[in-house]
Structure 1
Amino acid sequence: MTIVITLCISFVVFALIIWGLMHMRTPRFRMERAQFRQGLEDVIAGQADDNEWRVLTGYPMRHDPPLEALRLACLKIEEEEYTGKMPYLFSDRGLEKLREVRERLLALPPQD
């Protein structure tokens, strides 16, 4: 009888674990416009390091197509003007282009 109870309890625990794993969601990183603006301003001001730049531009922003377009513009600027030297990660021309991206970001209509 003890074996039957043990098997039933084991089955229930196993079933609960499987059910829990099936209903778990994958964590998602979602950057909002305000966070993107702050990160961009930190890079322009020379207060961001390479890791912060990678976080800013490293994740697609499918939830906000206009923001995704700005992220891609930043990656294009990176290809041409990135120096990686502290405190400013970009050349003067690159910083000016990033300021233009920031202005485009500020001109976007509010999100719904």
Structure 2
Amino acid sequence: MALYLLVLGVCLLVIGSVLVILMTASTPRYRTEPKDLLALFDKALESRVGETEWNAMIGYPIRHDEYLDGVRRRASQLMDEYGRRWKLAQGKPLLSDAGQQELKALRDHLAARTALREQ
């Protein structure tokens, strides 16, 4: 009987510990910051970004900053309008020349706004 109570106590302790850990652990959150978008845009302008990396960053809504979400949506529109996914495998840029120019303008605008906010 003592062995039964010991095993029951250990099981309850382990199960209780796991439940407490699961209840107190928080869900990891990822917040896209302006520096993340600037780094992505720089990679895209240098033709070093992959389609998966682009889609992972641009496809995820930014809920904590409406301006950044607008920049993200505009970058998504640029991909829809000027994207050349089939050329990426050949080492060509992700966007056409017109798309590269618009992405550079978007990147410069975001960089200027970020610099203003940091001052």
TM-score (norm 1): 0.88
Give distance in 1, aligned partners of 2:58 and 2:84: 16
> 1:56 maps to what in 2?
57
> 1:42 maps to what in 2?
43
Gaps of 5+ in 2: none
Give distance in 2, aligned partners of 1:77 and 1:14: 51
TM-superposed deviation, 1:62: 1.6
TM-superposed deviation, 1:92: 0.9
TM-superposed deviation, 1:60: 1.6
> 1:20 maps to what in 2?
21
- CA RMSD in angstroms comes to 1.5
Question: Percent identical across equivalent pairs?
Answer: 26
> 2:6 maps to what in 1?
5
Superposition pairs of residues 62-101 of structure 1, within 5 angstroms: 62-84=63-85, 85-86=87-88, 87-101=92-106
SS in 1 for 2:22: helix
Write the letter of the residue equivalent to 2:66. P
Larger helix fraction of residues: 2
Q: Which aligned runs of 4 or more in structure 1 are off by greater than 6 angstroms?
A: none
Write the letter of the residue equivalent to 2:117. P
Give distance in 2, aligned partners of 1:92 and 1:71: 19
Give distance in 1, aligned partners of 2:22 and 2:11: 17
How many positions carry a matched residue from both structures? 111
Gaps of 5+ in 1: none
Write the letter of the residue equivalent to 1:51. T
Give distance in 1, aligned partners of 2:47 and 2:94: 7
